[in-house]
Amino acid sequence: MKRIGVFVCHCGINIAGTVDVERVAREAEKMPGVAFAMDYIYMCSEPGQLLVREKIKEEKLDAVIIAACSPNLHESTFRAAAEEAGLNPWQCEIANIREQCSWIHSDRKKATEKAIKIVGTIVGKIRLNESLEPISVSITKKALVIGGGIAGIQAALDIADSGYPVILVEKDSSIGGHMAQLSETFPTLDCSQCILTPKMVAVGKHPNITLMTYSEIEEVSGYVGNFKVKIRRKATSVNWSTCTGCGLCTEKCPAKVPSEFDRGLTTRGAIYVPFPQAVPNKPVIDRDNCIYYKTGKCKLCEKVCEIGAIDFDQEDLIIEEEIGAIITATGYETLPIADLPHYGAGEVPDVIDGLAFERILSASGPTTGEVRRPSDGMIPKEVVFVQCAGSRDPERFKPYCSKICCMYTTKHALLYKHRVHDGQPYVFYIDIRTGGKGYEEFYHNAEEEEGIVYLRGKVAKIFRDGDKTVVWGTDTLTGRNIEIAADLVVLATAIVPTESTAELANKLRIQTGPNGFLSEAHPKLRPVECINAGFFIAGVGQGPKDIPETVAQASGAACKVISLFSRDHLEQDPTVAWVDEDLCSGCRTCISVCPYDAREYDEEKEIVTVNEALCEGCGSCVAACSCGATQQRNLSDSQIKSMVTASLGGE
Amino acid sequence: MYKKLGLDPPCSPPILLDRTKVRGEFGLQVDELSGQHLYACYQCGNCSSGCPLAQEMDILPSRIIRLAQLGQKEEIIRSNTIWICASCFQCTVRCPKGIDIQAVMDTLRQIALDEGVDHFGPDQIDSKHAAEVPQPGLVGVYRKLST
Ligand SMILES: Cc1cc2nc3c(=O)[nH]c(=O)nc-3n(C[C@H](O)[C@H](O)[C@H](O)COP(=O)(O)OP(=O)(O)OC[C@H]3O[C@@H](n4cnc5c(N)ncnc54)[C@H](O)[C@@H]3O)c2cc1C
Ligand code: SF4
Ligand code: SF4
Ligand code: SF4
Ligand code: SF4
């Protein structure tokens, strides 16, 4: 029989405060197979690990159990210690007597009994543990980045700069995302496009980056290091390899479509480039709005294009790629004003959202940076900014804080004031949230030096009266309601995840949270990883954040990918399912229950096999197999039986 | 209508705000006479929480500053706060934005006096209480009248 050692940790008072650890060690000593047991204050400390190593040798132990915290925390620590002392790492197991015992109980006697049983189950299990080797899988060292906003751009550049190939997939015809629409950026007021376009150009020119714009993810299969991805390259109706980007077609197109880039403040043609600095700077035909596709007549663009790049018959292309890691950086949209009935539901003229105001402020915008209101081009003298429009409203809209609007509203009010010196900006707010380097100072300056009037309270109603837009709000600081007959109203509408996020997350099999943002594996310690290995997230798709934070997160995600690619093989936990070929009837029940597509039917042998790289060891197939052919390594039926027996107090 | 119903006129009428009020004559006058900058106040309330006479005031000092920011001269002049204020400087030393609130109070009293509004004088303290009034309070009262 194996000689088993049991080490019971006090974890300071975390365990010892509730569990009589000495007694647990004494009882463990009596369990069949246990040759040695002791307790110690901090097993994970360097001296604690040394104890494990020494005792393995002195007591000639074949297996060790550390009764301590969750295996999530220190399993690898103790397996490494066991390995150093000459044991196979799978001869070391953790008995979780903290999260599953001391932390959740207060009765010392009962908690101690329970801890003894927990140790007993692991003794029952480890007696039958096999020595295993990690499963080694190869890695395709090529990354996929989905979304070409600043998050995707930064991540792609970082990975490409470290020498690995990257495919950057963007659904629109140009990369840049929302940052391309912004005028100047808080808190330093540097021109957004001036700092963004060099990065866009770098992406376009980088030898390691394959840029696929006007493209979307069709299908993803496989597993970390070995994904297979199908990308749909939507028909642009323009042959980009011959198009010189001269712009003749876009000038001549007679169709008039509200420009998405200018938030509907200008129009574009059906064939268009979204903005002058677009990368790539090639047009696409928006078939829904093209006169030719709608009526069969026009083709003006074809006539003016001297090199014949227009191709009305172009079809979508499906491109297949092998990929090692995937970063999702799909960004955000803002809540449509149409969803806010009390703010006019988009029907009241001169009530616009923050992104529209960015376009108005932008030197490259519809008014070349002059502040003019949309309805009649008047220079507004009374401008009301409404914060938390749809945010922080759990009853009717979004429960969360959109995080960036306090800062960008102050920026808006400030930039407005810089352009219209005799104008008065007012800001309605619930709280002003300016956590960030230099942010509070930015706000103080706006309030103190620039005469921006902050009014503490929500706006209840906005309506039109003649050529004025009347705002009914309140100021809880004076305790009085406020009425302003404004010339222009700018709403800081809630940040919401891009519409396609849920569908894409489904395809990737990654999680989203209650508000639709992408979920990280751990809110503090694994903020750029998804639960599923090989998937990473960055940018506002994960939650509202500003540019500095987005860039930091994108570089973090890139770094994770680079660290993955720095290895030649990935080691995976070998405690996966396996099949006894003699027992398998080929019924395929396991295929239908496996959530990870790890089971495959072998036509030749007429049995079902396990793809060890895909198997997450969840055990669904083991439970489902009526022939007892499928077993899980180190969790065999006999091990489970002896664990159950121990937990019921037997031996 | 209020009279018909036997009610007082509304005590919290909405402030109809426009740029002539927020940066109008009154605010500028207060800034100029007090040498302070009203818009530096971010309404933390520290002046009110430290004011030893706050419980006697109908409007807290921080709200007085707020009303001044929004050009609400009438309401300030009608309030008892500026007269209750003992010019003790507690608020001034506490203000995180370095505003001399006491100086603003002085200014507001001066503006009120110019408008012919007077609420309080040392002669109003009856002899019974005069002995109990703290000295800084009395000094404050005289100081108020000297502005
Ligand atoms: C009005 C306003 C003003 C702002 N001002 C500032 C400021 O002054 N300073 C500051 O730091 N921050 C500011 N921000 C915040 C800033 O815009 C964001 O932090 C930043 O743009 C986030 O970048 P991103 O790449 O995560 O998202 P996005 O810019 O939204 O990029 C996402 C990209 O992914 C693409 N995409 C989406 N779904 C898919 C899909 N399924 N497949 C392929 N591609 C997809 C989109 O087309 C887009 O190009 C402001 C925000 C607003 C609304
Ligand atoms: S064919 Fe379509 S894209 Fe070309 S010019 Fe006519 S409307 Fe524009
Ligand atoms: S950042 Fe400010 S404006 Fe935006 S939701 Fe949060 S509190 Fe409201
Ligand atoms: S100076 Fe006036 S307002 Fe300021 S703390 Fe003293 S009594 Fe209060
Ligand atoms: S302490 Fe200063 S900043 Fe705070 S409310 Fe009073 S005057 Fe304003």
Q: In CATH, what number is assigned to the domain containing residue A119?
A: 3.40.50
Nearest to A339 by CA among A385, A388, A396: A396
> Are residues A485 and A352 part of one domain?
yes
Query: Which tokens hold the place of A101?
Result: 């015992």
Mean of the per-residue pLDDT values of chain A: 96
> Are residues A298 and A150 part of one domain?
yes
B16 chain-A contacts, CB cut-off 8 A = 483-485
Name residue, tokens 């790492």: A89
What residue ranges line ligand 3, CB within 6 angstroms?
A 387-388, 391-392, 401-403, 405-406, 430-431, 433, 492
> Are residues A578 and A555 part of one domain?
no
The answer to whether residues A620 and A583 touch, using CB atoms and an 8 Å cutoff, is: no
Which tens digit of pLDDT belongs to each residue from A219-262? Answer: 999 889 999 999 999 999 999 999 999 999 999 999 999 999 99
B62 chain-A contacts, CB cut-off 8 A = 477
Which tens digit of pLDDT belongs to each residue from A134-173? Answer: 999 999 999 999 999 999 999 999 999 999 999 999 999 9
Q: Could you say which DSSP state residue A576 is in?
A: -
Which tens digit of pLDDT belongs to each residue from B117-129? Answer: 766 666 777 777 7
- Average pLDDT estimate for A571-598: 92
What residue ranges line ligand 1, CB within 6 angstroms?
A 146-152, 169-172, 177-179, 182, 185-186, 216, 329-332, 334, 354-355, 358, 404, 408, 411, 498, 500, 504, 539-541, 545-548, 550
- B36 in a structural domain: yes
- A602 in a structural domain: yes
- B27 in a structural domain: yes
Name the least confident of A238-247, A297-306, A439-448, A607-616. Answer: A607-616
User: What share of chain A has pLDDT > 90, as a percent?
Assistant: 95
For position B145, what pLDDT does the model report?
Answer: 57
Confidence of residue A15 (pLDDT cuts 50, 70, 90): very high
Q: For CA atoms A245, A247, A252, A254, give the dihedral sign.
A: positive
* Other CB atoms within 10 A of residue A395 CB: 5
The model carries a pTM of 0.87
Mutate to test the interface with A, among B39, B41, B72, B75 (most CBs of A within 10 A): B39
Beta strands A226-233; A317-323: pairing state: antiparallel
> Are residues A295 and A351 part of one domain?
no
So what's the ipTM on this one? 0.84
- A446 in a structural domain: yes
- A612 in a structural domain: yes
Number of domains chain B is built from: 1
Residues of B with CB under 8 A from a CB of A: 12-19, 22-23, 37, 39-40, 42-43, 62-63, 66-67, 69-70, 72, 97
E strand or H helix that includes residue A230: strand A226-233
Residue A425 has pLDDT above 80, yes or no: yes
CA–CA separation, A438 and A443 (whole Å): 9
Name residue, tokens 């009085």: A480
User: Could you tell me which residues are beta bridge partners of residue A39?
Assistant: A8
For position B139, what pLDDT does the model report?
Answer: 66
- B145 in a structural domain: no
Q: Which atom of ligand 3 is nearest the CA belonging to A387?
A: 3
Residue B1 has pLDDT above 60, yes or no: no
Report CB contact under 8 Å: A478, B23: no
- B141 in a structural domain: no
> Are residues A622 and A547 part of one domain?
no
Instruction: Show which of A132, A167, A195 is a domain's final residue.
Output: A132
Q: Which of B15, B19, B40 sits opposite A424 (nearest CB)?
A: B19
For position B121, what pLDDT does the model report?
Answer: 64
Residue B7 has pLDDT above 80, yes or no: no
- Average pLDDT estimate for A426-443: 97
* Other CB atoms within 10 A of residue A223 CB: 21
Which tens digit of pLDDT belongs to each residue from A480-496? Answer: 999 999 999 999 999 99
- A504 in a structural domain: no
For position B141, what pLDDT does the model report?
Answer: 65
- B48 in a structural domain: yes
> Are residues A116 and A197 part of one domain?
no
- B147 in a structural domain: no
Residue B142 has pLDDT above 70, yes or no: no
What residue ranges line ligand 2, CB within 6 angstroms?
A 253-255, 269-271, 285, 290-292, 298-301
Residue B141: Cβ-neighbour burial (10 angstroms; 0-12, 13-18, 19+): buried
Number of domains chain A is built from: 4
DSSP secondary structure letters along A407-474 = HHHHHHHHHHHHH-TT-EEEEEES-----STTHHHHHHHHHHTS-PEEEES---EEEEETTEEEEEEE
The answer to whether residues A362 and A181 touch, using CB atoms and an 8 Å cutoff, is: yes
Closest-CA distance, B2 to chain A, in angstroms, reads 19
Query: Which tokens hold the place of A417?
Result: 């004031």
- Average pLDDT estimate for A310-323: 98
The backbone region for A251, taken as left when phi is positive above 0, alpha when psi lies in -120 to 50, beta otherwise, is alpha
Distance, C-alpha A507 to centroid of its chain: 14
> Are residues A122 and A172 part of one domain?
no
Instruction: Show which of A66, A100, A132 is a domain's final residue.
Output: A132
CA–CA separation, A37 and A493 (whole Å): 62
Which residues touch A364 (CB under 8 Å, ≥6 apart)? Answer: A193, A275, A276
For position B24, what pLDDT does the model report?
Answer: 83
Phi, psi of A141 (to 5 degrees): -90, 65
Q: Which of helix, strand or coil describes residue B55?
A: helix
Q: Which of helix, strand or coil describes residue A493?
A: strand
> Are residues A579 and A561 part of one domain?
no
> Are residues A354 and A324 part of one domain?
no
- A517 in a structural domain: no
For position B2, what pLDDT does the model report?
Answer: 59
Residue B18 has pLDDT above 70, yes or no: yes
Task: Please give the distance, rounded to the nearest whole angstrom, from the Cα atom of residue A480 to the centre of ligand 5.
Answer: 19
Domain of residue B114: give its range: 19-120
Report CB contact under 8 Å: B37, A448: yes
Residue B146 has pLDDT above 80, yes or no: no
- A514 in a structural domain: no
Residue A651 has pLDDT above 70, yes or no: no
Which tens digit of pLDDT belongs to each residue from A465-478? Answer: 999 999 999 999 99
- B126 in a structural domain: no
Pocket perturbation via mutation, ligand 4, pick of B34, B51, B144 by most ligand atoms within 8 A of CB: B51
Q: At what angle do helices A71-84 and A46-58 cross, to 10 degrees?
A: 50
Q: In CATH, what number is assigned to the domain containing residue B48?
A: 1.10.1060
CA–CA separation, A226 and A139 (whole Å): 6
Q: In CATH, what number is assigned to the domain containing residue A377?
A: 3.50.50.60
For position B119, what pLDDT does the model report?
Answer: 60
Domain of residue A614: give its range: 573-633
Q: Whose CA is nearest to atom 4 of ligand 5?
A: B44
> Are residues A152 and A127 part of one domain?
no
Which tens digit of pLDDT belongs to each residue from A403-416? Answer: 999 999 999 999 99
> Are residues A296 and A234 part of one domain?
yes
Pocket perturbation via mutation, ligand 4, pick of B79, B94, B102 by most ligand atoms within 8 A of CB: B102
- A251 in a structural domain: yes
The answer to whether residues A61 and A129 touch, using CB atoms and an 8 Å cutoff, is: no
Ligand nearest to C-alpha A286: 2
> Are residues A125 and A148 part of one domain?
no
Task: Give the CA diameter of chain A.
Answer: 93
Residue A19 has pLDDT above 60, yes or no: yes
